[in-house]
Amino acid sequence: MRYLTAGESHGKQLTTIIEGLPARMPLLKEDINHSLLRRQKGHGRGKRMQIEKDLAEITSGVRHGYTLGSPISLVIHNDDFKHWTDIMGEDPMDDESKMRRVVTKPRPGHADLNGALKYGHRDMRNVLERSSARETAARVAAGAVAKTLLKHLGIEVCGFVKEIAGIRAEEMTSLTMEEKQHASENSPVRVLDKNVEKEMMDAIDAAKKEGDSIGGVTEVYVEGMPAGIGSYVHYDRKLDSRIAGSVVSINAYKGVEFGIGFEAARENGSKVHDEIAWDKDQGYYRTSNRLGGFEGGMTTGMPIVVRGVMKPIPTLMLKPLQSVDIETKEPFKATVERSDACAVPAASVVMEHVVAFELAKAILEQFPHDQFPKLQKAIEDYREEIRCF
């Protein structure tokens, strides 16, 4: 299974095409729209999110609520496009208007300058339109389809916030999946504890007031993945590495860790590895889950715990960073009209969905079936096989 996204931030629409899903899997647009609305809701976002109401239209690959086995295309319209028709339309602009609207001031921390150098764009709008995290809406749409597949296989994926600007959420390992999902679905900063929620919201509001930005840590937690999914044989099929790559591919993500993560560097082996046990009902299991559900590029059958680090948003409303105009070569400090102050809660939803996509993809590689009921049966049989192994 693979997917492709297309679309510019202020262009007409975003498009997602997903290929490789089996036929006869239940899929409703409501499942996708629920995820899209969650991505929009986190505290700390700027004015753009008040303009957009992300809703996906399924334009192919689904009929009467079931997948057909053909590519699925999803369209999300950009409501902001109506304000940008002259700048983003396909018709050529006259030279004078073009000169007035050309972007020549690259923002540190964004893709502007490197993208301009790579493609030779002297108008950096040609870069920023696509490098914008608007694209994560299209990725969440793909991930929502993957989450639907996983749900029907008994696998639940949930994303929430671990840390914002140094304020840490409660330890989630002791919480049930339902409690985690409650935080993920209902809290404006995706935490369970109301005191921490308030502290985080205050920190975001303070950053906003100062015209600065803040980052944080998000976590994705997965229950129900059977052991042995992924590969120890091929470097590019190791599932933990694919997940790590997909997390760092989210805009502004700079690092990833599984389980105790970087802490493993400071602990002895006796305090890092997860001992193996067995009982008649569940088969093999681990007495701890410090490695976050992976050994040898494959799942262990324990919950997957993966965290990602999001840097602060690079566009700063009142504290613009130093840069150089690519036309005049003069130094400048950028003025900004709008930007998010913190997108960590929203990004936790993005991370949840990119991880879900990698999991669903790995399952389909290991159990290739054209018909969804056959995939369900294959997973059921595999679960029984490993339980009795």
CA end-to-end span of the chain: 29
Answer yes or no whether residue 127 interacts with ligand FMN by CB under 6 A. Answer: no
In DSSP terms, which residues pair with 23 in a beta bridge?
371
SS3 state of residue 320: coil
Q: Is residue 194 within 8 Å of residue 262, measured between CB atoms?
A: no
- d(C-alpha 140, C-alpha 11), whole Å: 18
Restricting to residues 332-361, name those near ligand EPS by CB under 6 A. Answer: 338-340
Stretch of 95-103, 149-157, 216-224, 250-258 lying at the interface with ligand FMN (CB under 6 A): 250-258
Identify what 137 binds: ligand EPS, ligand FMN, none; CB under 5 to 8 Å per kind: ligand EPS
Per-residue CA distances from 217 to 165, 221, 293, 306, 353 (Å): 9, 13, 19, 10, 16
Query: Which of residues 49, 252, 256, 354 is near ligand FMN by CB under 6 A?
Result: 252
338 labelled ligand-binding: yes
131 labelled ligand-binding: yes
Identify what 111 binds: ligand EPS, ligand FMN, none; CB under 5 to 8 Å per kind: ligand FMN
252 labelled ligand-binding: yes
SS3 state of residue 283: strand
139 labelled ligand-binding: no
Answer yes or no whether residue 320 interacts with ligand FMN by CB under 6 A. Answer: no
Restricting to residues 342-371, name those near ligand FMN by CB under 6 A. Answer: 343, 346-347, 350
Answer yes or no whether residue 88 interacts with ligand EPS by CB under 6 A. Answer: no
Min separation Cβ 257 and ligand EPS, Å:
24
- Count CB atoms within 10 A of the CB of residue 276: 10
Min separation Cβ 252 and ligand FMN, Å:
4
Query: Which of residues 35, 231, 251, 348 is near ligand EPS by CB under 6 A?
Result: 251
Per-residue CA distances from 343 to 9, 22, 42, 201, 305 (Å): 16, 34, 7, 12, 21
Restricting to residues 264-303, name those near ligand FMN by CB under 6 A. Answer: none
The structure tokens listed for 375 are: 């995939």
Restricting to residues 29-48, name those near ligand EPS by CB under 6 A. Answer: 46, 48
Answer yes or no whether residue 323 interacts with ligand FMN by CB under 6 A. Answer: no
If we measure between CA atoms, which residue out of 343, 317, 340, 333 comes closest to residue 106? 333
Site residue total, ligand FMN (CB under 6 A) = 20
Largest CA distance in the chain: 77
Answer yes or no whether residue 133 interacts with ligand EPS by CB under 6 A. Answer: yes
Answer yes or no whether residue 105 interacts with ligand EPS by CB under 6 A. Answer: no
- d(C-alpha 284, C-alpha 156), whole Å: 20
For ligand EPS, the closer of residues 251 and 300 by Cβ is: 251
Q: Which amino acid is at 297?
A: G
- d(C-alpha 229, C-alpha 353), whole Å: 18
Contacts of 86 (CB under 8 A, 6+ apart): 93, 97
The structure tokens listed for 29 are: 């647009």
Answer yes or no whether residue 189 interacts with ligand FMN by CB under 6 A. Answer: no
How far, in whole angstroms, is CA 273 from its chain's centroid?
28
For ligand EPS, the closer of residues 50 and 288 by Cβ is: 50
198 labelled ligand-binding: no
- d(C-alpha 246, C-alpha 269), whole Å: 28
- d(C-alpha 381, C-alpha 258), whole Å: 28
Answer yes or no whether residue 134 interacts with ligand EPS by CB under 6 A. Answer: yes
Restricting to residues 131-160, name those near ligand FMN by CB under 6 A. Answer: 131-133, 136
Q: Which amino acid is at 36?
A: L
Burial class of residue 100 (count of CB atoms within 10 Å of its CB; 0-12, 13-18, 19+): exposed
Query: Which of residues 105, 110, 147, 242 is near ligand FMN by CB under 6 A?
Result: 110
Answer yes or no whether residue 340 interacts with ligand FMN by CB under 6 A. Answer: yes
Answer yes or no whether residue 40 interacts with ligand FMN by CB under 6 A. Answer: no
Answer yes or no whether residue 315 interacts with ligand FMN by CB under 6 A. Answer: yes
Restricting to residues 45-64, name those near ligand EPS by CB under 6 A. Answer: 46, 48, 52
Residues that bind ligand EPS (CB under 6 A): 9, 46, 48, 52, 132-134, 136-137, 251, 338-340
Residues that bind ligand FMN (CB under 6 A): 46, 109-111, 131-133, 136, 250-252, 313-315, 339-340, 343, 346-347, 350
